[in-house]
Amino acid sequence: MNPPKYVIGIDLGTTNSALAYAEIRADADPFAPANVQLLAIPQLVNPGEVRDEPLLPSFLYLPGAADFPAGSTALPWDANRDANPPAVVGRLAQKRGIENVGRMVSSAKSWLSHSGVDRTSPLLPFRAPEGVAKISPVEAGRRYLEHLRDAWNAKMPEAPFVDQQVLVTVPASFDAVARELTLEASKQAGYRDITLLEEPQAAFYAWIERHADWRERVQVGDLILVVDIGGGTTDFTLIAVTESNGELSLNRVAVGEHILLGGDNIDLALAGVVSQRLAEKGTRIDSRQLQALWSNCRVAKEKLLEPGSKAKEQAVTILGKGTGLVGGTIKATLLREDIERVLSDGFLPVVASTDMPARQRRGGVQELGLPYAADAAITRHMARFLRQDGDLHQDRDLRQGDLRRGPSGLACPTHVLFNGGVLNAQLVRERILSALNAWLAEEGMQPVKPLSGEDLMHAVSRGAAYYGLARHGRGVRIRGGVPRTYYIGVESAMPSIPGFPAPMKALTVVPFGMEEGASIRIPGREFGLVAGQPAEFRFFTSVTRRNDEPGDLIEDFGDALEELPPMEATMAATEGAPEVVPVSFETVVTETGMLQLWCVARDGRRWKLEFNVRERV
């Protein structure tokens, strides 16, 4: 494998995906601009027509036998140009899927985050008719990632994708399984050197990359709120500006919980408005037509809200229930005022900072669809995020008093950075700013300042590429030290005594303040790992023992350490026979806040224990 020439940042989005890149140059001035570039993505826009587009719509169409003429959906890099591949990805998939929603895969990323289903099983398209072979959310992600890989190889043949350093972004609120499955989809797509990065952080890196004078725009004590509203999720992140060794430093201090609420919800609400208008005129549509109307409303909304648009309405058309193609169509109209009303009243209502998201009483039996947020009011979710009483993760150099709070305890940002396609709409940005400023005024604080000037559709991919350079010393890194010390329990080698468990020691595996993205090899110690049978792994933590070093073995710790819920796992054994394997430990804290404790045998075998070490709100 050749050393990487480029870092590649991939935004694997719910609605659109993007790719940015930057050259790694060992002789480059570390203070010079990063020179991040975007890759135009070749894709089908019509049967037989391939065109470069700035984004790859995250849609996949599973064609029937008579959907397209032979060879009309082959791409330039397909081995057999006379045959149609089993799926179409991108712009054509989105266009054809609007006409036949039962064959279109959409929102695969949202399904990837759904812990209530088997995300590796064939689930999509969710409401596919009989005869359509479904695929899993992981498979859909793999197809999008493969298309981006092939597009790169077609555009950059002198630098094969497989040799480059790749960063793939995920929502900050993705759980461990969703992150692992994203990595699995990437590996299935032939990616080798992969790092996951959270989307809000990537968006902030993009702002830094575009503003070399960022140190003049913020100062010590500032608190930056990143509001990320994409096609499927809403994420909130707080970044504090602190001082380290006389220089400005950036610290991620809080990450919000998983909120399945975004552009998909808005599009469905708009479809509901149009459907109701049709019903008032005597035309009722069924559930399958509503799915088509949902997709049409997404396209109409984007056209009405795109920058510079002055249109007041947009036509939407869906197929009727009859067999005639023209005579069976139903025509309707989406109005700009529909969008404004739905956003203002439903998704961005005026609320107090003390208003928390409502809990909806759920039916006892439910369809296994996506677990959307019960309360659609984004402003209430934002209020809850900012009103966590002292639960924000504190960095090792960030004292509680340094986190900017109002008299009522509300975290009070000085700046806000917007990210995500939904925030392309000026109306959405204005409503969020209005809510924030009203809350800040009640706290006696100055209005928040927007950090503007970003291309919201490409910020995440650009920021990921910039972060890749920062890992090579070519940029600023946002710090995110682990706020506790972590230990694994080691059972003492003592004779068994009836009625008394074996004494437990605690081995330090993560020191206080260990940076995310760092790794440690614990030297000079081996322990016996039980393999081939179920075993219980016990972990401990401490917020007060800040000087324990990796490899320190703590005896008789009593109540000094807090025990975490134990983890039960069966480690694979050679030939399946139970054994006790001498192992040493390696610790990795990933960029997404996961502790990976690797147990490494002398013969090279490796086992992984993993859990989240990031405190969330």
**Average pLDDT of the residues in 568-584:** 86
Quick one: what percent of the chain has pLDDT higher than 70?
Answer: 91
154: phi then psi, degrees, rounded to nearest 5: -70, -35
Instruction: Say what the pLDDT of residue 402 is.
Output: 54
Judge whether 23 lies within some domain: yes
Same domain membership, residue 255 and residue 190: no
Judge whether 1 lies within some domain: no
Q: How far apart are CA 507 and CA 540, in angstroms?
A: 9
Residue 91 reports pLDDT greater than 90: yes
Judge whether 211 lies within some domain: no
Residue 377 reports pLDDT greater than 60: yes
Residue 391 reports pLDDT greater than 60: no
Judge whether 401 lies within some domain: yes
Q: Domain of 221?
A: 217-260+378-455
Instruction: Say what the pLDDT of residue 369 is.
Output: 66
**Average pLDDT of the residues in 553-565:** 88
534: phi then psi, degrees, rounded to nearest 5: -60, 135
Judge whether 272 lies within some domain: yes
Sign, Cα dihedral of 168, 174, 175, 177: negative
Same domain membership, residue 169 and residue 308: no
Do 240 and 403 meet the contact criterion of CB atoms below 8 Å apart?
Answer: yes
**Average pLDDT of the residues in 87-91:** 96
Same domain membership, residue 582 and residue 534: yes
Give the domain-ending residue among 325, 347, 369: 347
Q: How many domains does the chain have?
A: 4
What's the half-sphere exposure (Cβ side, CA atoms, 13 Å) at 540? 22
Higher-pLDDT residue of 259 and 592 is 259
Instruction: Say what the pLDDT of residue 31 is.
Output: 62
CATH code (residue 282): 3.90.640.10
DSSP three-state, residue 401: helix
C-alpha 125: how far from chain center: 21
**Average pLDDT of the residues in 290-313:** 88
According to DSSP, the residues that pair with 588 across neighbouring strands are: 519, 596
Higher-pLDDT residue of 296 and 477 is 296
Judge whether 223 lies within some domain: yes
* Beta pairing class for 606-612 and 594-601: antiparallel
Give the domain-ending residue among 347, 370, 386: 347
Same domain membership, residue 223 and residue 182: no
Judge whether 226 lies within some domain: yes
Same domain membership, residue 64 and residue 33: yes
C-alpha 254: how far from chain center: 15
Residue 323 reports pLDDT greater than 50: no
Same domain membership, residue 388 and residue 329: no
Same domain membership, residue 128 and residue 80: yes
Give the domain-ending residue among 299, 324, 347: 347
Same domain membership, residue 414 and residue 494: no
73: phi then psi, degrees, rounded to nearest 5: -115, 10
DSSP secondary structure code for residue 83 in this structure: S
DSSP three-state, residue 300: helix
Sign, Cα dihedral of 231, 463, 228, 384: positive
**0.75 exceeded by pTM:** yes
**Average pLDDT of the residues in 423-438:** 93
**Average pLDDT of the residues in 189-208:** 91
Least confident of 109-113, 252-256, 496-500: 496-500
Instruction: Say what the pLDDT of residue 322 is.
Output: 55
Same domain membership, residue 333 and residue 440: no
**Average pLDDT of the residues in 73-93:** 91
**Average pLDDT of the residues in 579-587:** 92
- Which strands form 553-554's sheet, in the order they lie side by side? 553-554, 504-510, 485-491, 539-542, 562-563
Same domain membership, residue 536 and residue 394: no
Q: pLDDT for 92-110, tens place per residue?
A: 999 999 888 889 999 999 9
Q: How far apart are CA 585 and CA 190, in angstroms?
A: 29
Instruction: Say what the pLDDT of residue 150 is.
Output: 97
Residue 388 reports pLDDT greater than 80: no
DSSP, residue by residue, 556-615 = S-TTSSEEPPPEEEE---GGG--EEEEEEEEEEE-TTSEEEEEEEETTS-EEEEEEE-S-
C-alpha 412: how far from chain center: 25
Under the banding of pLDDT at 50, 70 and 90, the label for residue 28 is: low
Judge whether 582 lies within some domain: yes
Same domain membership, residue 77 and residue 108: yes
User: Smallest Cα–Cα separation from 153: which of 166, 139, 136, 140?
Assistant: 166
DSSP three-state, residue 206: helix
**Average pLDDT of the residues in 139-159:** 97
Same domain membership, residue 422 and residue 302: no
CATH code (residue 29): 3.30.420.40
